[in-house]
Amino acid sequence: MQRSQPNIILATVQTRIQTYLSLIQGFSKYFFYNSTETCCFQWDKMNHRGQDMQGEVGPSHKINDGLMRFFDQCQKFVEDVENNQTALEEVHLFKASAEMKRVQMKMADQLQMPYNRITPDLVEAAFFLCSYEFAIKSLNSAWCNLFDETDAQVLEYKNDLKQYWKRGYGHDINRKSSCNLFHDLFNRFDQAAREIRFGHVSEAVTIQVGHAETLLPLLALMGFFRDETALTADNFDVQNGRTFRTSRIVPYAANLLFVLYDCSEGLRLQFLLNETPQNFPDIMHQAPLYDTVRETYRELLHGCNFEKECELPRPNS
What angle (nearest 5°) sits at the alpha carbon of residue 75, between those of residues 74 and 76? Answer: 95
Q: Cα separation of 187 and 140, whole Å?
A: 45
Residue 311 has pLDDT above 60, yes or no: yes
pLDDT tens digits for range 152-208:
999 999 999 999 999 999 999 999 999 999 999 999 999 989 888 887 777 778 888
Q: What is the pLDDT of residues 10-68, one digit of tens each?
A: 333 334 444 555 555 555 555 556 656 654 455 445 544 544 544 444 556 666 777 88
Asked if 247 and 161 count as a contact pair (C-beta separation under 8 A), the reply is no
- State the amino acid at position 7 in one-letter form: N
Give domain 2-79+172-310's CATH number out of 3.30.70.580, 3.40.50.1240, 3.30.410.40, 3.40.50.300: 3.40.50.1240
Say what the pTM is: 0.85
Task: Decide: 211 and 12 in contact? Cβ < 8 Å.
Answer: yes
User: For residues 7 and 9, what is the distance between their CA atoms, to the nearest angstrom?
Assistant: 7
Could you give the C-alpha distances from 245 to 128, 249, 305, in angstroms and in order? 16, 6, 28
Q: Look at residue 136 in the predicted model and tell me its pLDDT.
A: 84
Could you write out the three-class secondary structure of 118-175?
CCHHHHHHHHHHHHHHHHHHCCCCHHHHHCCHHHHHHHHHHHHHHHHHHCCCCCHHHH
Which residue, 21, 48, 67, is CA-closest to 209? Answer: 67
Domain limits, the chain: 2-79+172-310, 83-166
How many other CB atoms sit within 10 Å of the CB of residue 41? 20
